[in-house]
Structure 1
Amino acid sequence: MYGLIGKLRAAPGKRDELLELILKTATALPGCLSYVVSRDPADSSALWVTEVWADAESHQASLQLPHVQETIARARPLVSGFEFQVETEPAGGIGLP
């Protein structure tokens, strides 16, 4: 399995709009085992995204899907930066093989 954990910073006042947009795309992602978007309770502009994929290739392929490309383009004006991103190697857990 392949995982990513990232922290996005939304433009001022745009976190909820960005959250909604991301969640709309978090469907129909072949190879995606888990995709969780969370509000940071200590930072009103931050979102955390935790992803688990069957493999790194599935993640890369998802970035080429038309609906993902459209969402990335629509999200750009809502994002002020990416503060943190780390790759992980998920070993298992609830809902994972």
Structure 2
Amino acid sequence: MTFANVGSLGTKPGQRDAVVAILLRPKPELRDAGCLLFEVGINEESPDTVFVCELWESAEAHQGSLQLEGARAAIAEAMPLLSGEMGGTRFTVLGSPIRDA
């Protein structure tokens, strides 16, 4: 079943756009690792927060992606820009009314 990881990353003041830029760099290896969707967004009401929505073929695929060189490099680059405030949830997707019809 599809695995979803939806979360938020708190950034240090003024660092949101830098974190967004890191997350939006092309990473085609994620698709090969089982990533079905990786969306990055912002909300002007939360100027120091980045939102991420990921869909993966499985929880194992998501976990394995964290070992990819590109993912590890992006995480290492972003970490000093983060405040440590993180939120979100993970869940198994049961279906969708707009796909697999």
What is the number of residues matched between the two proteins?
Answer: 96
TM (norm. structure 1) is 0.89
Q: What are the Cα deviations for residues 57-76 of structure 1, in whole angstroms up to 9, with x where unaligned?
A: 11011000011111111111
> Percent identity, aligned pairs only?
32
1:26-57 Cα distance to aligned partner (Å, 9 max, x none):
53212000010110221111111000000011
Q: Does 1:17 align with 2:18?
A: yes
Q: How does 1:17-56 map to 2 (within 5 A)?
A: 17-24=18-25, 26-29=27-30, 30-56=33-59
Cα distance in 2, alignment partners of residues 78 and 93 from structure 1: 38
1:81 CA displacement:
1.9
8 Å CA contact retained: 1:21, 1:75: yes
Return the letter of the residue paired with 1:77: P
Where does structure 1 lack aligned partners over 5 or more consecutive residues?
none
TM-score w.r.t. the length of structure 2 is: 0.85
Alignment RMSD: 1.6
What are the ranges of 5 or more consecutive residues in structure 2 without an aligned counterpart? none
Deviation at 1:25, TM superposition (A): 5.3
